[in-house]
């Protein structure tokens, strides 16, 4: 039985990515790497669906969130932060740490933010400089209505919309320029199907004058310096050559396999497959509205410990998925739909979840039921092909 990483990031790697990561190291100031850098910086624009420059940072996704902030925030600026889960909390705390005057818009876990509430706040506090939100809140599996939020902020010349798209960019439609998103961040270990270690940011034309003037001290994440370096065909600092070489392959593979929309469809199909399983298994989605296609959070029957089930999946089946955090701890299972995943791996996961539920004594689970569900899932996979 082989190991599968089916978490909502980090994700399973394609064998070709693993091969590329093991190649001999080359220096980042070489003609060979220059060509890779130029190609990847151009290719990233297609994934962000933008004509603006996209920046690469050697950091986890959180570093990219920080890059968006330090380049647009001036201490004392009013910030509205949507907090609907763990990652929203993190960004609000970060903005406060950098001296932002932060108001949080708290949304119950499992719900999507109501754009009307954002509009109301911005009408009451018209000098709000930044609106922060996740596209997909990975701790709950909810997708926020970014297009509608952007339609509000794009009418306001002094307000920028910064979006944490770490489990959205590449996974589902989020066209930055078309929708009017002002700052967008993505991370390598999610839809980009790479190990952790790269983050990507992009700033709109509306945001750039703010970037030029923002008074937060910055150095490592100063995108003005990064842009100047990129325009000379270089990076500001040393580049993580293996990761960028692998990114180059992923971008070309996406292109050669039907483009961005095909990648979206592939991920969306895994989400539909998982929702079908949930229905058959009588498990409800934790996302009461707008479930994201990049991951699915399943609510466990009351009284059964999700931590234990997760541990069992790991120990007995060599399958890694995630549990819940904080208030959702022990109550949910989070299954990722990004990365290099075969149908057989998804099926093995559903089977294993069924066995675990039966083993821990969830009522209604029998060998017969598991066999029926397995057959249903096989049929779904055969009929619903891309
Ligand atoms: C994964 C993730 C992050 C980044 O986490 P890192 O551990 O810093 O890479 C940020 N926001 C969201 C929504 C995420 O899913």
How many angstroms separate the CA atoms of 315 and 242, rounded? 31
Average pLDDT over residues 173-201: 98
Average pLDDT of every residue of the chain: 97
Q: Which residues pair with 183 in a beta bridge?
A: 162, 203
How many angstroms separate the CA atoms of 335 and 272, rounded? 12
How many angstroms separate the CA atoms of 320 and 16, rounded? 21
Q: Is 170 left (phi over 0), alpha (psi -120 to 50) or beta?
A: left
Residue 386 has what pLDDT? 76
The label of the residue with tokens 């791996």 reads 345
- Other CB atoms closer than 10 Å to residue 152's CB: what's the count? 18
Q: Which atom of ligand 1 is nearest to the CA of 134?
A: 13
Give 64 Cα–ligand 1 centroid separation in angstroms. Answer: 9
Residue 1 has what pLDDT? 66
pLDDT tens-place string over residues 32-44: 999 999 999 999 9
Residue 385 has what pLDDT? 83
Helix (H), strand (E) at residue 254: helix 241-256
Query: Ligand 1: which of 62, 68, 109, 322 to mutate, most ligand atoms within 8 Å of CB?
Result: 62
Ligand 1 residue neighbourhood (C-beta within 6 Å): 9, 60-62, 87, 134, 138, 164, 166-167, 187, 196
Residue 328 has what pLDDT? 95
Q: Which residues pair with 299 in a beta bridge?
A: 284, 332
pLDDT tens-place string over residues 283-326: 999 998 999 999 999 999 999 999 999 999 999 999 999 999 99
């Amino acid at each position: 039985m082989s190991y599968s990483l089916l978490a909502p990031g980090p994700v399973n790697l394609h064998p070709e990515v693993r091969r590329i990561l093991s190649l001999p190291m080359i220096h980042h100031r070489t003609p060979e790497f220059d060509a890779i850098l130029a190609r990847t910086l151009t290719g990233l624009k297609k994934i962000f669906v933008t004509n603006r420059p996209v920046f690469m940072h050697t950091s986890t996704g959180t570093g990219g969130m920080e890059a968006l902030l330090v380049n647009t925030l001036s201490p004392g600026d009013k910030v509205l932060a949507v907090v609907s889960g763990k990652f929203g909390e993190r960004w609000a705390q970060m903005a406060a740490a950098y001296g932002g005057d932060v108001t949080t818009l708290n949304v119950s876990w499992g719900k999507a933010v109501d754009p009307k509430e954002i509009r109301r706040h911005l009408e009451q506090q018209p000098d709000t400089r930044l609106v922060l939100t996740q596209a997909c809140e990975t701790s709950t599996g909810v997708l926020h209505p970014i297009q509608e939020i952007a339609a509000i902020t794009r009418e306001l010349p002094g307000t920028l919309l910064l979006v944490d798209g770490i489990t959205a960019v590449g996974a589902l439609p989020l066209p930055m320029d078309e929708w009017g998103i002002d700052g967008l961040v993505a991370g390598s270990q999610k839809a980009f199907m790479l190990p952790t270690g790269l983050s990507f940011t992009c700033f709109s034309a509306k945001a750039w004058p703010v970037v030029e003037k923002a008074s937060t001290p910055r150095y490592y994440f100063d995108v003005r310096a990064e842009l100047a370096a990129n325009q000379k065909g270089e990076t500001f600092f040393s580049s993580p050559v293996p990761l960028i070489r692998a990114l180059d392959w992923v971008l070309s593979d996406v292109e050669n396999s039907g483009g961005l929309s095909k990648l979206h469809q592939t991920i969306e199909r895994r989400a539909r497959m998982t929702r079908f399983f949930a229905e058959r298994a009588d498990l409800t989605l934790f996302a009461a509205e707008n479930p994201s296609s990049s991951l699915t959070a399943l609510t466990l029957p009351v009284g059964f410990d999700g931590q234990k089930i997760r541990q069992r999946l790991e120990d007995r089946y060599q399958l890694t998925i995630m549990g819940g955090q904080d208030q959702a701890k022990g109550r949910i299972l989070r299954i990722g739909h990004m990365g290099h995943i075969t149908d057989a791996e998804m099926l093995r996961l559903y089977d294993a979840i069924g066995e675990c539920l039966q083993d821990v004594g969830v009522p209604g689970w029998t060998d017969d039921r598991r066999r029926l569900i397995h057959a249903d899932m096989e049929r779904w996979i055969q009929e619903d092909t891309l």
